[in-house]
Structures are given as structure tokens and as C-alpha cells.
């Protein structure tokens, strides 16, 4: 049993490292397209539907696979994907139990790394959140429910809110697994607190705008989306 547990742990760490390298490899291969075309500013793209408007991409990989141009080490542990803005790649990873937000250029050079607080050390340890880019700011929420806004270019921490503490939330079995959503001046997250399953914060200051009164369900393993119907913006998520 001890040998199996050790093997499982090593296998999980190997898989997580390979996932990070895979995402970075894909981004590198199409970097010239991204630099000239649309950015990938959040989890699953600008519309959160996993669709890219880019054209002229490969229809299939070469027989010997895509060429790896470079890779980045030292990003810690995590399950985050990447966001891109103006040729800069952003992602998150856990080092020594602490979450880090990374900015990397298209040549694989680390521009900056910023700590934002404790991350998940239980089952399937590491970060979950994919950074959300909005203008000159970038936002994350940790597996421990800590949401933060940074200056995208310098990495300066602008504000931070412990949503589990502030809204009396309770974490879930594998940690908050969300990438925050922004619409207008609001940033949305789901701490799953009392009368605050969903909350809207001011994206500039982190101050509370509203909470979902009467809805106190725990957070789920998903990220919210916005659906437009006429002149209305509908917030869709699961709790």
C-alpha cells in the first residue's frame, strides 16, 4: 500500500507538470497568431466557450508531433490553464503551500511572479484558478476563497478579499475551483456563504456591491458565464 501511494503521488505530480508544459507548448506554437490577433483573456477564452476566432491554424499535428520551442520550470503545482494579453502569458502555481501568479513572455522568460496567499494542500494539491484579464488589471481567486486584483503589467497587488471569512463561506472537498468573471465594473465569484452563494464585488476596490440574498448554497466546481438576452445580462453558474 505504501508503494502504491507513493507511485500515485509521483504519477499525479508528473501529470500536473505535463499538463502545464502541454498548455505552454500549445500557446507557443500559435503565439504568432495570438500576437497578431485576439487575446485569450480568461478561462476558455473571451466568451468562455472554448472557441478561438483565429484562422490559418494547423488542421492536424505533424506525424512526429509539434515542435517544442521552449518550456518553463519552477511554476509550482496546479491545475490552472493560461491567459494571454499583449503577448504575455499568465498562469498560477503553488510553491511551498503559497499561490503565485506568473507573467511570462512569448520567449519563455519570466517577467514577474507574485504571491497571493495559501493554496490547496489536500487531495489534488495546487492552484485551480485561471487568471482573468480586464484592461490593465488581472484577477484570481484561490482554492481557499481569497480573491485578488493585480496590476497586469507590474504585478502590484491592488486589493484582496478573503471571501470565505467575509461572507461566512465554507470550502468544498477539493477547494474553490473557479476563475472569476467580470462584467462591467463587477467581478463575480461564488464563496458559498450565508445569503452569499454568489457575490458581486467592485473590480477596482474589492468592495461588496451585492450578495445573493436567500441563496446560501456551497460553491461548485465551475466558473460563471454571462449570457446576453436583449438588453439583459444573465449570470449563469452552479451552486
pLDDT per residue as tens digits for the range 111-152: 999 999 999 999 999 999 999 999 999 999 999 999 999 999
Q: How confident is the model at residue 24 (pLDDT cuts 50, 70, 90)?
A: low
Q: How confident is the model at residue 105 (pLDDT cuts 50, 70, 90)?
A: very high
Q: Is the pLDDT of residue 27 over 80?
A: no
pLDDT at 37: 54
Rounded distance between C-alpha atoms, residue 152 and residue 24, angstroms? 19
pLDDT at 46: 93
Q: How does pLDDT run across 33-57, given as a tens digit for each residue?
A: 444 557 999 999 999 999 988 888 8
pLDDT at 13: 52
Architecture of domain 2-50+67-236: Beta Barrel (2.40)
Rounded distance between C-alpha atoms, residue 186 and residue 32, angstroms? 32
Is residue 224 within 8 A of residue 194, CB to CB? The reply is no
Percentage of the residues of the chain whose pLDDT score is greater than 70: 85
DSSP character for 26? Answer: H
pLDDT at 202: 98
pTM, two decimal places? 0.84
Rounded distance between C-alpha atoms, residue 121 and residue 104, angstroms? 25
How much is the average pLDDT of 28-36?
44
How much is the average pLDDT of 92-115?
97
Q: How confident is the model at residue 16 (pLDDT cuts 50, 70, 90)?
A: low
Amino acid at each position: 500500500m505504501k508503494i502504491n501511494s507513493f507511485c500515485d503521488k509521483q504519477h499525479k505530480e508528473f501529470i500536473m507538470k505535463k499538463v502545464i508544459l502541454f498548455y505552454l507548448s500549445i500557446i507557443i506554437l500559435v503565439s504568432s497568431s495570438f500576437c497578431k490577433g485576439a487575446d485569450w483573456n480568461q478561462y476558455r477564452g473571451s466568451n468562455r466557450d472554448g472557441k478561438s476566432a483565429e484562422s490559418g491554424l494547423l488542421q492536424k499535428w505533424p506525424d512526429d508531433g509539434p515542435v517544442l520551442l521552449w518550456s518553463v520550470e519552477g511554476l509550482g503545482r496546479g491545475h490552472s490553464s493560461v491567459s494571454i494579453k499583449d503577448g504575455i502569458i499568465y498562469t498560477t502555481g503553488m510553491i511551498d503551500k503559497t499561490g503565485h501568479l506568473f507573467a511570462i513572455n512569448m520567449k519563455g522568460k519570466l517577467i514577474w511572479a507574485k504571491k497571493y496567499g495559501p493554496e490547496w494542500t489536500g487531495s489534488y494539491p495546487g492552484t485551480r484558478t485561471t487568471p482573468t484579464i480586464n484592461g490593465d488589471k488581472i484577477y484570481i481567486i484561490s482554492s481557499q476563497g481569497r480573491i485578488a486584483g493585480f496590476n497586469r503589467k507590474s504585478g502590484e497587488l491592488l486589493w484582496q478579499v478573503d471571501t470565505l471569512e467575509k461572507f461566512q463561506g465554507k470550502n468544498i472537498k477539493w477547494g474553490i475551483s473557479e476563475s472569476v468573471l467580470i462584467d462591467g465594473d463587477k467581478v463575480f465569484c461564488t464563496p458559498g456563504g450565508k445569503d452569499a452563494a454568489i457575490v458581486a464585488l467592485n473590480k477596482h476596490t474589492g468592495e461588496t456591491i451585492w450578495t445573493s440574498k436567500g441563496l446560501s448554497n456551497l460553491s461548485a466546481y465551475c466558473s460563471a458565464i454571462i449570457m446576453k438576452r436583449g438588453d439583459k445580462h444573465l449570470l449563469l453558474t452552479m451552486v
